[in-house]
Amino acid sequence: MTSSHLAASDSGESQGLRRFYGSGAWIEGDAERQLTQTLTRPGVQAVAAFPDLHPGIHGPVGAAILSERVHPALIGGDIGCGMAMFRLDLPARRLKLDKAAAALRGLGDSWWGNPWAALEAEGLHPETFPAALGTLGGGNHFCELQAVAALDDPEEAARAGVDSGSLLLLVHTGSRAFGPMLLGALTPAEQEALDLATEAGADYLRQQEMAVRWAALNRRVIAERAAELLRAEALLIVDSPHNLLEPHAGGWLHRKGAAKTSPGGLVPLAGSREAPSWLLKAAVETPEGALDSLAHGAGRRYRRSAMHGRVGRSKSELLRLERPAGGSRVICEDRGLLIEEAGAAYKDARKVLADLVAFGLAAPVVETRPLLTFKTARETRT
């Protein structure tokens, strides 16, 4: 791995590439190569790369790409994936961590609600993957209970209903099997460049929008489930997708691990199981070339395969992954996933935030610290 020494003013900008990170950012050489390759795709006009940039399967993660043509592979299979932040009406002073940890294990059970009614209420067909609704899935998806560590902008925080004693939920997940089905229905050639005049192109556009809506509903259902388990109510602060396709400036904006923003809007920035997260306020005047997008989190520093053997080599190390320094808890009953998603797998979120601030992209509103991170648990119902 190498650390990039290219900033947003360096070579490559004239070719439509803007890098919103400084010389100290941890950027793999493979991610830089994927940026260069992305610029050669037919119709690509502009690329914005953020400090959480890392290599992906089909292209860079942590980037927004504007193109005259649609490239489904750049978005990938988890269409609509994003993060939503909620405020609980339960004050932090009343939280009992042991009881909360036991309660949140219930997220591993099947949802006890009515998925068909929830889908219909959202304008989606009731048979659109009802069994998956209210579930996180694997990978880097999570539901995290957080406490307020600092109010960086107390006035903006108050407008969001957050004070120093608030408890927050940050939910990261997407469209589950829906998105991969849409990508898999395309031929390899269509995944690389899709003709919108074809039936396959029109169907992809229509169903892609449905998958984005399904994913937002899924985050809301998960938050409602978590809140009910904690005997509280979850109030949405912001939902921010980061894997999606949208019309933009006469072309098509592809976001892959790049959070959708609006001028002055709120956006979550996820840290890791062992690091803070933030609620950010996007700049009112978007810097040129940012494509109305932001980093969505710290971004991976090490690939999943590289984490095996790096951490979790003994029972004591595994226990530390479940009980990180700082007193938080991680509920993850999949040993491989616990290792692959360890805090050490991710970049320093503070440095990512510093780059976003330095380039005038966003400012911090609330800093949070993890209390309970739910990833997976065995179903307890019979």
Q: What is the DSSP track for 213-249? A: HHHHHHHHHHHHHHHHHTT--EEEEEEEE-EEEEEET
Task: Assess whether 296 carries a catalytic annotation.
Answer: yes
Query: Among residues 248, 254, 296, 308, which one is catalytic?
Result: 296
CA gap 144, 83 in Å, rounded = 11
Q: What is the DSSP track for 86-106? A: EEESS-GGG--HHHHHHHHGG
Which residues lie below 8 Å from residue 245, measured CB to CB, with a gap of 6+?
A: 70, 72, 75, 205, 208, 252, 253, 254, 255
In the chain, the largest separation of any two C-alpha atoms, in whole Å, equals: 61
Q: Provide the strand spans (E) within the chain.
A: 17-19, 44-54, 61-67, 82-88, 142-151, 167-173, 234-241, 243-248, 251-256, 258-260, 266-269, 277-282, 293-295, 329-332, 362-376
Q: Which residues are catalytic?
A: 296
